[in-house]
Chain A
Amino acid sequence: EVQLVQSGAEVKKPGESLKISCKGSGYSFTSYWIGWVRQMPGKGLEWMGIIYPGDSDTRYSPSFQGQVTISADKSISTAYLQWSSLKASDTAMYYCASGVSSPYVWYFDYWGQGTLVTVSS
């Protein structure tokens, strides 16, 4: 059974750093993209970035370039999303998802349960 299990909810103060995780199991972690998706309260899905754990190829949405860092440790089948200095506007639910890319389609077939990040002073 394919599973993506994310780390637990976080409550942080503005300016603090944070790294959340997404552990894959039940499939070849190095053969599929992992994407991170933000969902602010009451809003839609926003693609933040993707990483291919097999070769660490990483791409960022222009909206998130320079704001977050995506990484992966294929030895433990885990992807990460990190911030160096959080802002209140980073308060959101963050999902990881396994991604399939082909010449004619892109889709996220399995999703983590989400990690709620709350940033408040």
Chain B
Amino acid sequence: SSELTQDPAVSVALGQTVRITCQGDSLRSYYASWYQQKPGQAPVLVIYGKNNRPSGIPDRFSGSSSGNTASLTITGAQAEDEADYYCNSRDSSGNPQFGGGTKLTVL
């Protein structure tokens, strides 16, 4: 079982704002990173560190953290944002770990 916990599914109306969360004790000490995965494709990094977006990632994606919870916020969700989203952090040994994933549906 994953030490990072995500809601299995979240939905959002087109153009609205959605927050996808990731909970785990390691998040009190380390930042989360977030990945988007569309069907049949490899994951894509969308947020890393405190709130950094790789080149090419729209600025409607943002990250935040409070206590043991990290959040990925999509402000003004688009149809193309429908995908699975995974959080990732490091554990105390310095190794990576993934959350179980959240399926985002854009209505």
Contacts and interface: CB of A to CB of B under 8 A. Distances in A.
A80 interface: no
B30 A106 contact: yes
B44 interface: yes
Contact of B42 (A59, A101, A113): A113
Interface string B64-107: 00000000000000000000101011100111111111000000
Interface string A73-111: 000000000000000000000010101110011111111
Nearest to A59: B95
A95 B96 contact: no
Nearest to A46: B98
Interface size class of B (residues with CB under 8 A): 20 to 34
A109 B45 contact: yes
Contacts of A109: 45, 48, 54
A111 B44 contact: yes
A120 B42 CA distance: 24
A101 B101 contact: no
A99 B94 CA distance: 12
Contacts of B84: 44
B101 A61 contact: no
A119 to B, nearest CB: 21
A32 interface: no
A99 B98 CA distance: 13
Interface of A: 35, 37, 44-47, 50, 59, 61, 95, 97, 99-101, 104-114
